[in-house]
Amino acid sequence: MGLLKYIIVGAAVGYGISYITKKGPDGRSILDDITDKAPDWLDQAKKFAEETVEQVKDYRQQGRSY
């Protein structure tokens, strides 16, 4: 039963990789789009982290605890 599970998971992973690397009508793949947008997502995540840290600092300065 374990071997069958690994075969199914391997086939699913292989199909997924094939799907995201397949070129579309515009000559770009899903992976190309993801790699182009990654820096923007990283900047958004950094902004969110900074805002959250500031909120926690303000919360702690008010004398509150979690």
pLDDT of the residue at 18: 96
The pLDDT of residue 66 is 57
Q: Tokens for 4, please give them.
A: 């069958």
CA distances from 20 to 26, 27, 53, 55, 62 (A): 14, 13, 35, 38, 48
Smallest CA-to-CA distance from 17 within 5, 29, 3, 33 is with 29
Distance CA 3, CA 64 (A): 54
Residue-level pLDDT, tens digit, the chain, 66 residues: 799 999 999 999 999 999 999 999 999 999 999 999 999 999 999 999 999 999 999 888 887 665
Q: Using an 8 Å Cβ cutoff, are 21 and 13 in contact?
A: no
pLDDT of residue 60: 87
